[in-house]
Amino acid sequence: MQPRRNVELKGRDPDPAATLAAALAAGAQDHGVLRQRDTYFAAREGRLKLREQDGGGELIAYERADRTDARESAYTLVAVPDPDALRAALDAALGTVVEVVKRRRLLIRDEVRIHLDDVDGLGDFVELEAVAPPTSDLAAEHAKVAELRGALGLSDDRVVAQGYAALLLEAGAARERLVGLARTAMGRARAPYSRFDVGAALRDEAGRLHAGANVENASYPEGSCAETSAIGALVAAGGTAIREIAVMADTELVTPCGGCRQRLAELAAPDVAVHLCGPEGVRRTVTLGELLPLGFAAADLPPAEPAA
Ligand code: THU
Mutate which of 198, 219, 263 for ligand 1 pocket (most atoms within 8 A of beta carbon): 198
Is the Cβ atom of 265 under 6 angstroms away from ligand 1? Answer: no
Mean pLDDT of 24-47: 93
- What is the 8-class DSSP label of residue 32? E
Pocket lining: 247 vs ligand 1, CB cutoff 6 Å: yes
Residue 294 has what pLDDT?
96
- Give the nearest ligand 1 atom to 191 CA: 12
- Tens-digit pLDDT profile for residues 142-187: 999 999 999 999 999 999 999 999 999 999 999 999 999 999 999 9
Q: 174-295 in CATH: which number?
A: 3.40.140.10
Query: Hey, where are the domains in the chain?
Result: 4-170, 174-295
Residue 199 CA to ligand 1 centre (angstroms):
9
Q: What atom of ligand 1 comes closest to residue 255's alpha carbon?
A: 6
pLDDT at 131: 87
Mean pLDDT within 27-41: 96
pLDDT score at 118 = 98
Q: How far apart are CA 270 and CA 153, in angstroms?
A: 34
**Closest C-alpha residue for ligand 1 atom 4:** 225
DSSP-assigned beta bridge partners for residue 129: 8, 113
Tell me, yes or no, if the pTM score tops 0.95: no
User: Could you tell me which residue, 193 or 5, shows the higher pLDDT?
Assistant: 193
pLDDT band (50, 70, 90) for residue 34: very high
Q: What DSSP character marks residue 176? A: H
* Average pLDDT over every residue of 247-258: 98
Q: Residue 227 catalytic?
A: yes
pLDDT band for 73, please (50, 70, 90 cuts): confident
Which pLDDT score is estimated for 62?
84
Cβ atoms of residues 278 and 293 within 8 Å: no
Residue 168: closest CA among 90, 98, 216, 70: 98
Any ligand 1 atom below 6 A from CB of 226: yes
What is the DSSP code string of 80-119?
ES-HHHHHHHHHHHT-EEEEEEEEEEEEEETTEEEEEEEE
Distance CA(245)–CA(275), nearest Å, equals 6
Mean pLDDT, residues 292-304:
93
Work out the pLDDT band at 5, boundaries 50, 70, 90: confident
Whole-Å CA distances, 61 to 3, 58, 70, 165: 9, 10, 20, 14
Class of domain 4-170: mainly beta
In terms of pLDDT, which residue wins out, 75 or 288?
Answer: 288
**Separation of 259 CA from ligand 1 center, angstroms?**
11
pLDDT in tens, 101-154: 999 999 999 999 999 999 999 999 999 999 888 888 999 999 999 999 999 999
Q: Which of 127, 129, 141, 227 is catalytic?
A: 227
**262 contacts 286 by C-beta, under 8 angstroms:** no
* Number of Cβ within a 10 Å radius of residue 176: 12
- Name the average pLDDT for the chain: 94
Beta strands at 198-204 and 47-53: parallel, antiparallel or unpaired: unpaired
**Per-residue pLDDT, 66:** 64
Nearest CA to ligand 1 atom 2: 225
Tens digit of each residue's pLDDT (9 = 90 or more) over 45-72: 778 999 999 878 999 998 766 666 777 7
Distance from Cα 241 to the centre of ligand 1, integer Å = 22
Q: Quote the DSSP letter at residue 308.
A: -
Q: Where are any strands of DSSP class E within the chain?
A: 4-12, 29-41, 47-53, 56-63, 71-80, 96-109, 112-119, 123-132, 198-204, 209-213, 242-249, 268-278, 281-287
- pLDDT category, 206, cuts 50, 70, 90? confident
**What integer pLDDT is reported at residue 67 of this predicted model?**
66
Q: Is the beta carbon of 241 within 6 A of some atom in ligand 1?
A: no
**155 in contact with ligand 1, CB cutoff 6 A:** no
pLDDT for res 4: 76
Taking alpha carbons only, the member of 48, 56, 165 closest to residue 101 is 165
